[in-house]
Structure 1
């Protein structure tokens, strides 16, 4: 038996070299994680927000409230912690109810329907994109806070980090195991030591305090030290909105409940409570140290507030320098790890939404290394565009952040309240009130953020958000219309006469070459009642040459020349089919398509076969068959006569055997 050689294309060989050999579908499985490992794997996005959340509050307050900003920071943090408590209690119910696939998208879909759920889908998709940008930019801040000489290259470092994360995930990097759990525990332990040592020093009266007036390069600081100087309600609301970024990532465990070992719900619930407790301790501790030390944000974004706190707490000297580097290393690790969580969350969410036919189906396809490669590439591209547009500044990215985050919280809270209203299970009134409070509070935060930060960039999200929701619903309508049309066509085909007495095969001839010969051979293999070769005359001189070559080849199928004075090949094809049509007759039109391996070859040749096939697809009882022929690997032009195909039994020519290239059918009954 003949086996045709199957040489791998250059592009595929390069892919294998860069990404590794392909993984088989049999390797696709999900590793179940213990509570300890799952907590470390799923919580970096949430826990790491304590590294920049309190600083964002100060950035908004200092230009208006002066040193009173350090006092206002504490009550604002207190309000944020109350919201954290509400959301934690709400999500404890989510992880118990949705143990296979949780998150606000599924909660909204099950309780409000698929269309309303697209609000949650868009919120989470935006959240994942901005998380990559914010976490990567904040991770770079941690690096340049330790090495200020790298500050001018912050954008380049951040983009490089995103590309490195994308490359690792395209290779099949998994967000599982101790390697990804370590940064969370390392960071929590390091900052925990900073907080404890700082508070002890404050109690002993040995904790230093910065005088912001003596610093150069800080954010603008108003003169005065009272609670006036423009500390208006709007300023406080804007500061609160900035501080709300401390709660980002809280939904991560609800999105990954299925990663836990059994029983999934109780294990996820315990991990969620521990994560929220760690976050509350870190956010309150960092805010308290900022209040005690007057660590001040800088206009350039570095050194960060948390790095200043570590420097003040540990002091100078060898030991202090080592501990400072340890803290900055831990901060950078968890921030970049937090960015990596989106490279797992975004593709899975996109595939989930695509399964519901609200996103392109290409996002459902697993790639070379069993990851959703298309979604990873989309996430990387959008995140890099966002970083370049904002110069990788965390403060510039914040307006894009919290609207998506808190919209997801809103949909989860209101969806769970709706669930309890319908199910009316045990303690349903209490649970409904709790979730309603969480959802309503989150909606208020969204409104505050949209209004208070509108002129600082939130207007982009306010406009893009509903637009994306409409786009997703429109894509779903297109998919539904296509499915309905195919069902109608299927019913029509089932009701129509399926047996044809005659089968006419027409080979469209553009040139006398191997592609045409292969099409003729395949046409014979269909055993038609009539086989025709047709050339539409656009150039009389070229048609005459083609006619002479055809007659000299001694092919048994005569070549028909049909005038096409208006050069509308598609229209002429329809006329040809109409003249050949008859009752109980099917017509197959074979369209040789020359394929060229080089980019130049593809640019120099059009896609006429595709256009003709699309035209034929609208004709009942007509079939377009495109027969590709790789002209880059086989001699494409015949210079002399070609002997007729050898005859088999019954006087019919056999098919082309191993020389016959693959073909694609484009059919409409």
Structure 2
């Protein structure tokens, strides 16, 4: 491309003509240069340095406290994280699922030992085999889900895609409830494992559990999920220790050295007694009690959907890697569940009423012994159990906020749940999850036996909808092995639906009634929220021809004044600059003394009020906001009038001043916004606090000048370090001079395509920590490789167009592209 620059003087300034050779020939671009630009152009600094806002608007106390507690904020660019291989993904995504092996067997026994005593150990193994059968069916269904859905969202996305958003909200409610209960159950179970190792802490169970949840909330607000692979360590540590325990337990059983655990006092057992074996196939166990035991054991399958929810975090190809990981996770869970169940049946490890010592801890102590090296191994296994249970609780702090974000994006939850916080986490979702789970923990006194009744209903409902959704998909598309897909997913949906019914019936009195009540209420609330959002969107939809034109022929300005000070003076000057059809200065007479003082001050020579008439209006009931609304409404009775309301306001330095002054301007602005064809503008005027040499504090008005030379914080990402290494000789952008040929380096912060005139041009704002400058690529609408976040090394000549510092058609080098998941 060839570019020729010509400058011609004129009476009011100069014109810059730029002849550009484009792909379809030559075209001429003419930019008008004002006298102000000519003054800047004498090899002087151009407006490239950042404004220094530290003194004008310092960081608030709340933000400073947040920064101390949470650390330096993350930039949005850091959202693009490293994808996980299968080994790391298993460790990161599986804690919730695999950790359920620490309490699954115990929860079955708690329902049977009070009724049939030691005969429960003959029943627990068949029940666990049934549960493992359900595990196989659900795993097969989710292998199909992962094959077709490689985005996060799991059963919610499957239901939404196949049944529509309203049915998907059933999955949303179920999963949201499951995430909440998971935090309560996992953290309570972790504390039970801890107190099994250290019995002296039993009396502090509730406080320890609350403290753990608070730590998880705090850690996730700080961006704990960024620790990534570190969460894999507790998972593999637990798998290694518990698998070793099971294998050694098998060896001792087959060599005849595994002994039964001495039976504790009946008063320490669940319900304070041990039942007696009866007759018949169920050994005297009532069928409903059997269903309760099965329901409790079914909670072992929670967390199985984690792989489906996290498919997008896998390395490519995502689907095959996620499917293999799911098979490994299900296989490990089956091995651990069956192992702990068999050893419990051999050792007769009975569950305690207070939840500690746990059945697994009794097994470990029986296998390794309570003396010498075996005792130390016991503590190591308990440490592994505690870590994975607490880590399993933490997985909900990843899943819940993301699911809430998806549902809120679909407009079924408040939009505040879509906002990322200080460290890129969905902070509102984390706080909501933490608050509700803490409430559950306190209500149930951190007892797993009580919380388990709320567990698994949500996740099995999700399993049902995922299976049913895949059936609908296969019937609709009929491709590949669709008949097998229909059959397997239909079995999964049917089995899990039966499990949900069993949970509701068998555990209704023990707490499932809460889910039966809260679930439908949450569903109705989501539907109501969506209807509200849809109504709002429809009301504000910008449709061509609908309210597209306003018959505005005149603008009238009304300024409300209370007293005459610098804030009022500056607001009046602003009003005059608007060149409105009419300007009214209005004062509401509430206090006659204040009114007289204002009237005496008004119209002084040399002030902005000299040529403006002050209008004093009665306000008998002293409701200034209502009086302002009525006055403005009268102004716009004419359908061709638009009213601009100007409100002077003092800016306050301290919170004490906010208490000492009312917020009348805000109240008036909030009132007049309800009047059609009206806009309210608050014109603030601040004072800054200065400490004099003798120690006194003085407040003085802020001047008009915006101080330059401010420094912005660097992100120090890998791309920034690469740019710094490549551009060691680059000039700081904040110190550029007009007509200076420079080499600068920075990050593309903004992009725009200017379509004015015959041609078009791409404008890119490049910035470093000292300032910013606009790069203008004439005749281009896009440049491959340049996008927001790209790090550039640029060479060119600085010029000024329309009082804006620009570099026309610069040479550039792309040093680093913004990170992405590609």
1:588 aligns with 2:630: no
2:735: which partner in 1?
Answer: none
Give the match's secondary structure for 1:188.
Answer: helix
Give the match's secondary structure for 2:617.
Answer: strand
Which of 579, 583, 587 does residue 527 from structure 1 map onto?
579
Tell whether the 8 Å contact from 2:266 to 2:274 is kept in structure 1 after alignment: no
Q: Cα distance, 1:130 vs. partner? A: 1.1
Q: Cα distance, 1:163 vs. partner? A: 1.1
Query: C-alpha separation between the residues in 2 aligned to 1:263 and 1:338?
Result: 26
Query: C-alpha separation between the residues in 2 aligned to 1:142 and 1:632?
Result: 58
1:98 aligns with 2:153: no
1:620: which partner in 2?
Answer: 676
1:226: which partner in 2?
Answer: 278
Moved more, 399-408 or 518-527: 518-527
Query: C-alpha separation between the residues in 2 aligned to 1:132 and 1:604?
Result: 45
1:121 aligns with 2:172: yes
1:13 aligns with 2:64: yes
Which of 248, 257, 261 does residue 197 from structure 1 map onto?
248
Query: C-alpha separation between the residues in 2 aligned to 1:400 and 1:105?
Result: 20
2:238: which partner in 1?
Answer: 187
2:416: which partner in 1?
Answer: 362
Give the match's secondary structure for 1:83.
Answer: helix
Query: C-alpha separation between the residues in 1 aligned to 2:277 and 2:416?
Result: 57
Map 1:74-473 to 2 at 5 A.
74-174=125-225, 177-212=228-263, 214=265, 217-220=268-271, 221-227=273-279, 231-473=285-527
Which of 507, 512, 523 does residue 559 from structure 2 map onto?
507
Query: C-alpha separation between the residues in 1 aligned to 2:120 and 2:658?
Result: 63
Query: C-alpha separation between the residues in 1 aligned to 2:265 and 2:639?
Result: 95
Q: Cα distance, 1:585 vs. partner? A: 2.7
**Residues 145 and 222 of structure 1, relative CA distance in 2, 3 Å threshold:** closer
Query: C-alpha separation between the residues in 2 aligned to 1:565 and 1:269?
Result: 75
**Residues 110 and 432 of structure 1, relative CA distance in 2, 3 Å threshold:** same
Give the match's secondary structure for 2:615.
Answer: strand
**Residues 272 and 629 of structure 1, relative CA distance in 2, 3 Å threshold:** farther
Q: Cα distance, 1:17 vs. partner? A: 1.4
Which of 73, 97, 110 does residue 46 from structure 1 map onto?
97
Moved more, 475-484 or 227-236: 227-236
Q: Deviations over 1:86-125 (max 9, x none)?
A: 1000000111111123400000000010111111111111
Query: C-alpha separation between the residues in 1 aligned to 2:248 and 2:103?
Result: 20
1:59 aligns with 2:113: no
**Residues 376 and 200 of structure 1, relative CA distance in 2, 3 Å threshold:** same
Q: Cα distance, 1:465 vs. partner? A: 0.6
Q: Cα distance, 1:491 vs. partner? A: 4.5
Q: Cα distance, 1:403 vs. partner? A: 1.1
Give the match's secondary structure for 2:556.
Answer: strand
> Which ranges of structure 1 fall in alignment gaps of 5 or more residues?
636-641, 644-654, 660-669
**Residues 79 and 568 of structure 1, relative CA distance in 2, 3 Å threshold:** same
Query: C-alpha separation between the residues in 2 aligned to 1:400 and 1:628?
Result: 54
**Residues 282 and 599 of structure 1, relative CA distance in 2, 3 Å threshold:** farther
Tell whether the 8 Å contact from 1:133 to 1:392 is kept in structure 2 after alignment: yes
Query: C-alpha separation between the residues in 2 aligned to 1:489 and 1:534?
Result: 38
**Residues 584 and 658 of structure 1, relative CA distance in 2, 3 Å threshold:** farther
Q: Cα distance, 1:25 vs. partner? A: 1.5
What TM-score do the two structures reach when normalised by structure 1?
0.90
Tell whether the 8 Å contact from 1:175 to 1:344 is kept in structure 2 after alignment: no
**Residues 505 and 93 of structure 1, relative CA distance in 2, 3 Å threshold:** same
Tell whether the 8 Å contact from 1:41 to 1:175 is kept in structure 2 after alignment: no
2:631: which partner in 1?
Answer: 576
Query: C-alpha separation between the residues in 2 aligned to 1:304 and 1:593?
Result: 65
**Residues 300 and 592 of structure 1, relative CA distance in 2, 3 Å threshold:** farther
Q: Deviations over 1:15-36 (max 9, x none)?
A: 1111111111122212101101
Q: Deviations over 1:552-575 (max 9, x none)?
A: 695323322111223444443343
Q: Which structure dedicates a bigger proportion of its chain to strand?
A: 2
Query: C-alpha separation between the residues in 2 aligned to 1:476 and 1:489?
Result: 21
Q: Cα distance, 1:226 vs. partner? A: 3.1
**Residues 375 and 568 of structure 1, relative CA distance in 2, 3 Å threshold:** same
Moved more, 307-316 or 366-375: 366-375
Query: C-alpha separation between the residues in 1 aligned to 2:350 and 2:114?
Result: 12
**Residues 611 and 470 of structure 1, relative CA distance in 2, 3 Å threshold:** farther
Moved more, 271-280 or 213-222: 213-222
Tell whether the 8 Å contact from 1:295 to 1:305 is kept in structure 2 after alignment: yes
> Which ranges of structure 2 fall in alignment gaps of 5 or more residues?
1-46, 692-699, 708-822
**Residues 522 and 275 of structure 1, relative CA distance in 2, 3 Å threshold:** same
Query: C-alpha separation between the residues in 1 aligned to 2:328 and 2:226?
Result: 20
Q: Cα distance, 1:529 vs. partner? A: 3.0
1:652: which partner in 2?
Answer: none
Q: Deviations over 1:48-107 (max 9, x none)?
A: 001011111111111112111111111111111111011000000111111123400000
Which of 485, 496, 499 does residue 539 from structure 2 map onto?
485
Query: C-alpha separation between the residues in 1 aligned to 2:521 and 2:659?
Result: 35
Query: C-alpha separation between the residues in 1 aligned to 2:568 and 2:62?
Result: 28
Query: C-alpha separation between the residues in 2 aligned to 1:323 and 1:189?
Result: 12
**Residues 98 and 595 of structure 1, relative CA distance in 2, 3 Å threshold:** farther
Moved more, 512-521 or 277-286: 512-521
Q: Cα distance, 1:47 vs. partner? A: 0.1
Tell whether the 8 Å contact from 2:278 to 2:285 is kept in structure 1 after alignment: no
Q: Cα distance, 1:457 vs. partner? A: 1.4
Q: Cα distance, 1:473 vs. partner? A: 1.4
Give the match's secondary structure for 1:14.
Answer: helix
Q: Which structure dedicates a bigger proportion of its chain to helix?
A: 1
**Residues 16 and 571 of structure 1, relative CA distance in 2, 3 Å threshold:** closer
CA RMSD of superposed structures (Å): 2.5
Query: C-alpha separation between the residues in 1 aligned to 2:359 and 2:527?
Result: 43
